[in-house]
């Protein structure tokens, strides 16, 4: 597991907790935590509350508390590099924010079923293997993501299918 990226997530999550946001750790870093496998995570994917319509809403208002999140990230020396993707960067690390409220429609993952975790008094959510399977299956149907990720999602899907059987 890439402890450096997970540790950075915990630092960000702590600041989000300070403004009453409990984030969901998504992507390969979250999958590494769940499976113990190294998925060669390239970035941090963090989902926070927002408009469940997702991309249909202008990016500057689609995430609740967006102005506060920008202030937090800037206070941690991150720079906003892509408003549409809600992407920040610092020292080669990309952090992207997504909308937790899109999960039910996108992947069939119900928010009430998310498991809260805690590390050093920092609260965050983490998907379980079955929920990750739903997310990666839904993601693999997205042609942009399939092209961008060279079908890495399919490898993760196979791994998760074997893991839960």
In this predicted model, what pLDDT tens digit does every residue of 2-36 receive, in sequence order?
Answer: 589 999 999 999 999 999 999 999 999 999 999 99
* Mean pLDDT of the chain, nearest integer: 91
Name the 3-class secondary structure at 157.
helix
- The first and second tokens of residue 39, run together, are 């998925």
**Cα–Cα dist 97/25, whole Å:** 10
Which DSSP letter does residue 114 get? P
Statement: residue 63 has pLDDT above 50: yes
pLDDT tens digits, one per residue of 35-57: 999 999 999 999 999 999 998 99
Residue 18 host element (H or E) = helix 3-18
Q: What are phi and psi of 154, to 5 degrees?
A: -65, -35
**Cα–Cα dist 80/82, whole Å:** 6
- The first and second tokens of residue 88, run together, are 């920040």
pLDDT of amino acid 89: 98
pLDDT of amino acid 2: 53
pLDDT tens digits, one per residue of 78-102: 999 999 999 999 999 999 999 999 9
Q: What is the mean pLDDT of residues 117-133?
A: 96
pLDDT of amino acid 87: 98
CA 142 to the chain's CA centroid: 17
Higher pLDDT, residue 165 or 34: 34
Residue 39: CB atoms within 10 A of its CB come to 18
CA 68 to the chain's CA centroid: 18
Statement: residue 103 has pLDDT above 80: yes
CA 8 to the chain's CA centroid: 13
- Taken in order of first residue, the domains within the chain and their CATH numbers are 3-127 (3.30.460.40)
Statement: residue 65 has pLDDT above 90: yes
Statement: residue 165 has pLDDT above 50: no
- List CB contacts of 144: < 8 A, sequence separation 6 or more: none
pLDDT of amino acid 29: 96
């Amino acid at each position: 597991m890439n402890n450096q990226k997970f540790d950075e997530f915990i630092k960000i999550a702590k600041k989000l907790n300070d403004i009453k946001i409990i984030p969901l750790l998504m992507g390969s870093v979250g999958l590494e935590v769940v499976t113990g496998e190294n998925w060669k995570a390239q970035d941090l994917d963090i989902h926070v509350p927002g408009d469940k319509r997702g991309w249909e809403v202008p990016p500057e208002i689609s995430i609740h508390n967006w102005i506060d999140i920008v202030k937090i990230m800037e206070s941690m020396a991150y720079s906003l590099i892509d408003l549409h993707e809600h992407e920040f960067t610092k020292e080669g690390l990309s952090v992207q924010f997504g909308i937790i409220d899109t999960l039910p429609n996108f992947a069939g993952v119900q928010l009430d079923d998310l498991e809260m975790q805690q590390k050093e008094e920092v609260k965050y959510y983490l998907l379980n293997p079955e929920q990750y399977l739903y997310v990666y299956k839904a993601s693999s149907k997205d042609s942009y993501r399939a092209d961008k990720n060279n079908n890495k999602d399919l490898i993760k899907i196979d791994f998760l299918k074997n893991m839960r059987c």
